Amino acid sequence: MAKSRTSVAQTDLSLADSDDFAYLIQIDIGGQDFRVLLDTGSSDLWVVSSDCTTVDCSGVPKYAKSPSLSLTDVPFHLTYLMGNVTGVLGSETVTVGEFQVSSQIFAMANATGGLGLAGTGDSGILGLAFPAEASIADTVGRTLLENLLSSFNDTSQKFFAFKLGRDQDDSSFTVGELDPTFANSTDDLTHTPVYAPHGSLYDYWKLPLHSLTINGTSFELSQSRVRGAPAPIAVLDTGTTLALGPTQDVARFWESVGGARQTDRGWEVPCNRAVVVGMVLGQGSSQKEYVLDPADISWREGSVDGSWCLGGVQGNDGVFAADWLLGDTFLRNVYVTHHAATDSKPPSIGLRGLTDPTAALAAFLKDRGADISPPANVESHAPQSITLSAGDICGIATAGGFVAGVVLVVLLFTFMRLCRMRRRRC
């Protein structure tokens, strides 16, 4: 059970030298400090153990068995789209911010491969998705998220919120209360129930994505592959760097933007290509456009030569739990709250747009220089999509975790290997 201590915990942001972004949070497991990837696209907590000798986990802090560890003989294994992890389960005292959970189930990884841990400095993953997607069975133990939220008697506090920053001083993560820098009341955000097909369990933090906009003109999307969905479905995922969508939609998107090219790295765009893109999310009265900074569409952190930048939107047809995966290039533009279900309400997501399109475009042009390319020519027609039945849909295991409480936990900011999307085998 989680219990609160009295003072407010705050950690400093740090910036490491690599190619892309990751958002890390510091936690304590058995009296040992670790930085782990904060990921709303998975549900498990795992860290590398002192038994891990693979190259992938070299150079990062590793968990050493402590007197408070209760070891099991239950194996743990995940195969990701990019990499894998193998280990064993145990329970240990885990501290996040000002909250301490005794006998928290977690996985100790004795082998990892293809995850790039040594390059980013993270020792594991803290998952914040729903328990239905946990690889660790609920018969063994509850997720860290469940245990943390159980410390609240007031259901209005059973939520977490984050803002993913661009700099070292504007990321935040809170549980149980809002960060007043970004919102003073939950009424400041637009709330939408989490999407789940009829009769299905909640798995990821999903919303309908009705369309995109390019310089204010609507860009139509293909029909959802999820049977019965009112619109294409998007997963909000802090563990993924870019926005990923169906390849045919993304190809039309870049053709509409103009000037882009497709390479073995993905879609690239001139670093001075100035375009304002929006994403229309929600359902019914909550349907609303959220604007992206042009710097998140022409992504200079992914540039090779300074002239061509990696596109912030890329094609990927492997997102089987939904249609789109909205990673950090979208999430840096919004303040997000994630609310647990109550007796009277389903789980919900609150969004507040933070990017002013006029100011963001002016800053982009000042930084990148004038864009003399022809204006975008939006191709609005969307082709039909293949519809999958519920039995055809499998899950995405990305990376993540969140904290419960009325305390503020500032995210540790670093860079990560590009497109850290991980999907479990179906």
> Among 119, 47, 54, 122, which residue's Cα sits nearest to residue 87?
47
C-alpha span between 425 and 231 (Å, rounded): 26
Among the listed residues 56, 203, 237, 296, the single catalytic one is: 237
| 237 belongs to the catalytic site | yes
Check: CB of residue 101 under 8 Å from CB of residue 158.
Answer: no
C-alpha span between 189 and 123 (Å, rounded): 33
The three-point CA angle 215-217-222 to 5° equals 115
Where does residue 243 rank: exposed (0-12), middle (13-18), buried (19+ CB within 10 A)? buried
Buried b (16+ CB within 10 A) or exposed e, 112-131: bbbbbbebbbbbbbbbbbbb
C-alpha span between 334 and 165 (Å, rounded): 10
**CA 64 and chain centroid, separation:** 28
C-alpha span between 261 and 309 (Å, rounded): 10
Neighbour tally for 33: CB within 10 Å: 12
The CA-to-CA distance between both ends of the chain, in Å, stands at 33
Q: Kindly give, in sequence order, each residue whose CB lies less than 8 Å from that of residue 93, ignoring residues fewer than 6 positions away.
A: 29, 30, 31, 68, 100, 101, 102, 103, 104
Tokens of 234: 């998007």
Pinpoint the alpha helices (H) of 71-228: 117-120, 144-149
Write the single-letter amino acid at 109: A
Q: Kindly give, in sequence order, each residue whose CB lies less than 8 Å from that of residue 58, ignoring residues fewer than 6 positions away.
A: 118
**What one-character-per-residue DSSP string does 383-422 give?**
---PPBPGGG------------SSEEEPPEEE---S----
| 39 belongs to the catalytic site | yes
Q: Beta strands 313-315 and 243-245: pairing type?
A: parallel
C-alpha span between 25 and 397 (Å, rounded): 18
> Which residues are catalytically annotated?
39, 237
